Amino acid sequence: MLDEEQIKKIKEQIISQIDTWHASEEQKEQAKKQIQDMSSEKLEEFLIKNKLIKSQEENNPQQKQECPFCLILQNKLNSYKIEENKENLAILEINPLSQGHTLVISKQHDKLPSSAFSLATKIAKKLKSKLRAEEVKIENVSILGHQMINIIPIYKDKKLERKKATEQELKEMQEKLIKKPKEKIIKEKSTKPKKTLEKAPVRIP
């Protein structure tokens, strides 16, 4: 929060800048009055909006909004899980570049374990077989400081184009990717001996 002395100096500086504007005298006077009449809260909002000062959140990183990927790992945000291992979680990208676009999220915010690449390779094979992708691009990325891997299926004659997937589309894709193939049921040959019919008695004429 700005103190009275800071507010006074800032207002003087802004007002002096208004004099350099290419505007009519009437417009300049209106702008000066608007600045002069601003409360300390409104002035602070104005300065933050115009990036003249940093917000309280920027000055105090601990007060910043939590990482959404960390919230997913804590089950505080909904996601569409595909697979998981001890160190990573694989989920569907909600704004996919292509059908089946998946993220492997490290369970440690700023570290990407080698097991993440093993999981990514496994999912890439699944995307190729189940979605018939021509190839699958694997790349490590950092989003909001969180380490993860992008797994992007590439299809013939289809461009990569980011778009928001509907909840229904994500659910259907999730079911398709986690569904296990049906096991073939092999009928066991009966080991029981066949029952022999008793011979009919000889007919006596």
Whole-model pTM above 0.75? Answer: no
Asked if residue 6 lies in contact with residue 13, where contact means CB atoms within 8 angstroms, the answer is no
At residue 129, the pLDDT reads 92
Asked if residue 85 lies in contact with residue 119, where contact means CB atoms within 8 angstroms, the answer is yes
Asked if residue 176 lies in contact with residue 130, where contact means CB atoms within 8 angstroms, the answer is yes
Tell me how far apart the alpha carbons of residues 176 and 17 are, in angstroms, rounded to a whole number: 61
Would you write out the chain's pLDDT as a tens digit for each of its 205 residues?
Answer: 556 777 777 777 777 777 777 778 888 788 888 888 888 777 777 777 766 555 554 444 443 457 889 999 999 889 999 999 999 999 999 999 999 999 999 999 989 999 999 999 999 999 999 999 999 999 998 888 899 999 999 998 899 998 989 999 999 999 999 987 655 444 444 455 555 545 545 545 5
Domains annotated for the chain, with CATH where assigned, are: 4-63 (no CATH), 68-178 (3.30.428.10)
Asked if residue 137 lies in contact with residue 154, where contact means CB atoms within 8 angstroms, the answer is yes
Q: Which two tokens stand for residue 13?
A: 């500086």
At residue 3, the pLDDT reads 67
Asked if residue 146 lies in contact with residue 105, where contact means CB atoms within 8 angstroms, the answer is yes
3-state secondary structure of 165: coil
At residue 1, the pLDDT reads 54
Selection from 111, 76, 95 nearest residue 103 by Cα = 95
Residue at token pair 């296990």:
180
C-alpha atoms less than 13 angstroms from C-alpha of 6 in its C-beta half-sphere: 10
Work out the end-to-end distance of the chain between its first and last CA atoms, rounded to an integer number of angstroms. 124
